[in-house]
Amino acid sequence: MATKKTAGKAATKSATKPALTANSLNRLIRPMLGQTKPDARATKLSRNWRALIASELSMSVIQAENLRTIPAEEVAKVQRAFKHVVTHGGEFTAKLGDGQTDGSLNIRMTGTGKTLRTFKITLLTCTFDANCRHWHCHLGPAI
């Protein structure tokens, strides 16, 4: 039986946000894709992806600042892609840079054609450095 002290510790642990990692970001975003009636979190993703990430994952001061200062043009490209895949379905893959390699974010539309062939179309590819700075996004797959 839980005491007040152990119940308080359990509540604190459950209220702690997971750290921003590639795995935590992928686990956060993937379940929100392809919802015919988006839940509150998926709706937030389709409207303001940076606010969703900031509210769900803990970040270093540098990561948080760099997320806030991504150029508006790049933010808009990512937002358009998320808006589409939240309701129409798709795939999301994020890799964070480690100082030696750049990070990347890929958003793909998926579906089934008339002949029941599954297709995947890369909507957006972004790259950024290990500190989530210097974002470069373009439509389509990596060049």
Tens of pLDDT, residues 77-103: 999 999 999 988 899 999 988 878 889
Report the chain's terminal Cα–Cα distance, integer Å.
58
* CB-based burial label for 11 (10 Å; 0-12, 13-18, 19+): exposed
pLDDT by residue (tens digit) across 34-85? 988 999 999 999 999 999 999 999 999 988 999 999 999 999 999 999 999 9
Look up the pTM and report it.
Answer: 0.77
pLDDT value of position 71 = 92
Q: How far apart are CA 104 and CA 132, in angstroms?
A: 9
Q: Would you state the torsion angle of the CA atoms of residues 84, 85, 88, 90, taken in this order, to the nearest 10 degrees?
A: 150
pLDDT value of position 100 = 80
Q: What is the DSSP letter of 18?
A: P
Q: How far apart are CA 98 and CA 93, in angstroms?
A: 16
pLDDT by residue (tens digit) across 118-131? 667 777 888 887 77
In order of 55, 86, 131, the CA distances from 81 in angstroms are 20, 9, 22
CA 62 to chain centre: 18
At position 6, the amino acid (one-letter code) is: T
